[in-house]
Chain A
């Protein structure tokens, strides 16, 4: 089954403790992206990657890092999480037909 898999689904952490949210896709898509969803703000792009070793900032990249060492994986790294990064995070991938396939989401709480 074609899918984007994110882990974990839920995460509660403390301020300053580094964490990684993993994302993997099995569709051989070149384009991958991370979004965060916040009430009243919709989905905002954090980082995206056009291909292996090619990443770029989206609209809200501050406080986040990404890497794309393999085509299928695109982890999101929070080096020093803060409470304003409490949010619902989605990873997505896209082939050539323009429809994004989204993961099921990761709900992150930073206390």
Chain B
């Protein structure tokens, strides 16, 4: 049972445009959400997070939006750069303070120069 789903295995975006990566979850106990970025031959690295008391969190070119009623979050990257080409994983945890993370299946983002 996949509790965190990323339905788009891949996404291609022109350099300079907006990249939007989507993530859906089914467990209503999840209250903290994170995005990780992974380059080939490296471990995932933490990108940005949001708690369920917010609906938006911004860090430079990266913004995460959370829609609790729809159990949906999205990551916006503006403007997209070639270095953003990577696999992006969303992750969620329940009972804030419990560090177990449940990851999605990942979306491979390719930025076209």
Q: Give chain A's interface residues, CB within 8 Å of chain B.
A: 4, 31, 33, 35, 40-45, 48, 50, 58-59, 90, 92, 94, 98-105
Contact = CB atoms under 8 A, between A and B. Distances in A.
Measured as residues with beta carbon below 8 angstroms from the partner, the interface class of chain B is: 20 to 34
A80 to B, nearest CB: 27
Nearest to A6: B43
Interface string B33-60: 0101000011111100100000000000
Contacts of B104: 42
B100 interface: yes
B45 A102 contact: yes
A2 to B, nearest CB: 12
Contacts of B100: 33, 45, 48, 58
B99 A98 contact: yes
